[in-house]
């Protein structure tokens, strides 16, 4: 037994030291804390989505629906106040229920909720060597007067412009993600990884790039610009670096010349950006990368800030972790912020991630509640005009990542048409 004591002491000491190191490693992010966390996350993901990855059920694209007032109609559409509806059409992007035809689609609905056209979106054709379609998500969508659309994909590797039948006009591979916005001079603005990028809408050619980390956060040799978000990696004084996904950029849109007069502190072409992880909405000078204006909160994990004609900015406040989302309006000069849409017990509204909104010409708001698979239009006073659940089965909806309203005369040659289109 005496001969074993040194070995036993060594083992016990090693266990104690390993336990102590494990505590400090987890607290300070030392090796192998990140690797363990990644492994645990991978295991949870496999458990939750193995059916998706075997193409048995698209679990990555399904969310729980609200139980109350869910439409019994298979289309999921409820028209509450036809007199208050904004004239025009609504496009809705997401997973296709007809998986034998295409993984994703964009559907066009009229004021009565009838589907009038479908754009099939074949991700496998755009990125044949990439992930399986069910492991990416159609997210960004832009529509053109000729009936074509542009699309991007989260976790994907492509941006493309498709004609009314879903045939590629052009496509480009790369880490393009989240929202797409057109400008007044034939450009599409989008994030490519952490770089603001402008593409020629006719050809897909990149015509502008501004990197977030080097061009905005540390522009012109500045150490960290206005916002220092780097962390100590490895514990050394020279080891300041960016950890994981410190920004999660999710939106960029230019200030139009038409609206510029309403924003005396900005200029036409300035870029409105959203950085989710630091709750930041900012306006960037596209030439220098300087921040003309920025604000942290009161929104949490926000999406889709938009310039408005009255000189305000509206923001989709996800309110992650609070149980309720809001649409907020802020005056960038006074920083006065007010809530213009919020959920209630009788009309819940909560999307802890993703989500879009659009202030319509009528003053109504179109809201995309991604994480409950719902789109709705409300009046400025919050009264429901219509809502649509993107129904998958009795309890679940499809995630809807983008809804867009267009005027009745938006399409230059009438409603888009295609010999292979599906209507219902």
CATH, residue 198:
2.130.10.10
Q: Indicate whether 159 and 216 sit together in one domain.
A: yes
- Within a domain: residue 422? no
- Residues of the chain with pLDDT > 90, as a percent, come to 72
Number of domains in the chain: 2
Q: Give the mean model confidence (pLDDT) for residues 198-222.
A: 87
- Within a domain: residue 420? no
Q: Indicate whether 191 and 260 sit together in one domain.
A: yes
Q: Is the pLDDT of residue 14 over 70?
A: no
Q: Indicate whether 221 and 296 sit together in one domain.
A: yes
Q: Is the pLDDT of residue 22 over 70?
A: no
CA distance 366 to 377: 4
What is the domain extent for residue 98?
63-406
CA dihedral 170, 173, 175, 179 (to 10 degrees): 10
Tokens (6 digits) for 401: 């990542």
- Within a domain: residue 424? no
pLDDT tens digits, 180-192: 999 999 999 999 9
- Within a domain: residue 411? no
* Predicted local confidence at residue 423, as pLDDT: 44
- The predicted model scores a pTM of 0.87
Q: Give the mean model confidence (pLDDT) for residues 120-149.
A: 96
ω before 226 within 30° of 0 (cis)? no
Q: Indicate whether 95 and 228 sit together in one domain.
A: yes
Q: Indicate whether 284 and 391 sit together in one domain.
A: yes
Q: Indicate whether 120 and 155 sit together in one domain.
A: yes
Mean of pLDDT over the chain:
88
Least confident of 132-146, 209-223, 326-340, 390-404: 209-223
Residue 390 phi, psi dihedral angles, 5° rounding: -85, 80
Q: Give the mean model confidence (pLDDT) for residues 330-350.
A: 95
What is the pLDDT confidence band of residue 421, given thresholds at 50, 70 and 90? Answer: very low
Least confident of 26-30, 95-99, 354-358, 414-418: 26-30
What is the pLDDT confidence band of residue 98, given thresholds at 50, 70 and 90? Answer: confident
Q: Indicate whether 36 and 103 sit together in one domain.
A: no
CA distance 106 to 94: 7
Query: Which residues have CB under 8 Å from 56's CB, separation 6+?
Result: none
Long-range pairs, 391-395, Cβ under 8 A, ≥24: 391/65, 391/71, 391/74, 391/75, 391/76, 392/62, 392/97, 395/64, 395/65
pLDDT tens digits, 391-418: 999 899 999 999 999 999 999 999 999 8
- Within a domain: residue 414? no
Q: Indicate whether 203 and 328 sit together in one domain.
A: yes
What is the pLDDT confidence band of residue 74, given thresholds at 50, 70 and 90? Answer: confident
Q: Indicate whether 42 and 87 sit together in one domain.
A: no
Q: Indicate whether 174 and 318 sit together in one domain.
A: yes
- Within a domain: residue 187? yes
pLDDT tens digits, 225-269: 556 666 655 555 556 566 678 899 999 999 999 999 999 999 999
Q: How many CB atoms lie within 10 A of CB 316?
A: 29
- Within a domain: residue 421? no
For residue 250, which of 395, 152, 165 has the smallest C-alpha distance?
A: 152
Q: How many CB atoms lie within 10 A of CB 235?
A: 9
Q: Give the mean model confidence (pLDDT) for residues 167-178.
A: 98
Angle separating helix axes 33-53 and 5-28, nearest 10 degrees: 70
Higher pLDDT, 53 or 144: 144
Residue 138 phi, psi dihedral angles, 5° rounding: -60, 125
For residue 189, which of 300, 274, 122 has the smallest C-alpha distance?
A: 274
CA distance 356 to 304: 6
CA distance 299 to 325: 9
Q: Indicate whether 111 and 131 sit together in one domain.
A: yes
- Within a domain: residue 269? yes
Q: Indicate whether 113 and 248 sit together in one domain.
A: yes
């Amino acid at each position: 037994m005496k001969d074993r004591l040194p070995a036993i002491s060594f083992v016990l000491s090693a266990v104690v030291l390993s336990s102590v190191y494990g505590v400090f490693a987890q607290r300070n992010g030392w090796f192998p804390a990140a690797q363990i966390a990644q492994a645990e996350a991978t295991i949870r993901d496999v458990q939750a989505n193995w059916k998706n990855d075997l193409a048995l059920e698209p679990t990555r694209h399904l969310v729980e629906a609200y139980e109350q007032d869910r439409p019994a109609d298979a289309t999921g559409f409820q028209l509450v106040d036809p007199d208050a509806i904004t004239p025009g059409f609504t496009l809705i992007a997401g997973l296709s229920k007809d998986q034998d035809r295409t993984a994703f689609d964009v559907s066009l609905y009229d004021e009565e909720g009838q589907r009038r056209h479908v754009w099939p979106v074949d991700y496998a054709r755009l990125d044949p060597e990439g992930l399986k379609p069910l492991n990416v998500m159609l997210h960004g969508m832009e529509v053109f007067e000729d009936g074509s659309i542009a699309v991007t994909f989260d976790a994907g590797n492509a941006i493309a412009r498709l004609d009314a039948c879903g045939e590629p006009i052009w496509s480009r591979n790369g880490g393009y993600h989240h929202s797409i916005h057109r400008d007044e001079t034939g450009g599409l603005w989008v994030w490519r990884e952490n770089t603001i990028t402008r593409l020629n809408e006719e050809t897909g050619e990149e015509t502008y790039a501004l990197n977030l980390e080097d061009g905005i956060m540390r522009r012109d040799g500045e150490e960290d610009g206005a916002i220092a978000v780097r962390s100590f990696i490895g514990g050394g004084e020279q080891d300041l670096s960016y950890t994981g996904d410190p920004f999660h950029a999710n939106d960029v849109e230019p200030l139009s010349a038409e609206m510029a007069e309403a924003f005396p502190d900005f200029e036409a072409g300035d870029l409105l950006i959203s950085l989710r992880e630091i709750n930041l909405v900012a306006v960037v000078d596209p030439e220098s990368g300087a921040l003309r204006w920025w604000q942290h909160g009161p929104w949490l994990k926000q999406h889709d800030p938009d310039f408005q004609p009255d000189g305000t900015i509206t923001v989709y406040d996800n309110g992650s972790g609070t149980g309720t989302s809001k649409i907020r309006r802020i005056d960038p000069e006074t920083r006065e912020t007010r809530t213009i849409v919020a959920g209630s017990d009788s009309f819940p509204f909560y999307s802890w991630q993703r989500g879009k909104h659009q202030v319509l010409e009528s003053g109504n708001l179109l809201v995309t509640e991604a994480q409950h698979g719902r789109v709705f239009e409300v009046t400025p006073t919050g009264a429901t005009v219509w809502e649509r659940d993107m129904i998958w089965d009795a309890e679940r909806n499809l995630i809807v990542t983008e809804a867009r309203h267009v005027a009745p005369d938006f399409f230059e040659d009438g409603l888009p048409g295609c010999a292979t289109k599906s209507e219902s």
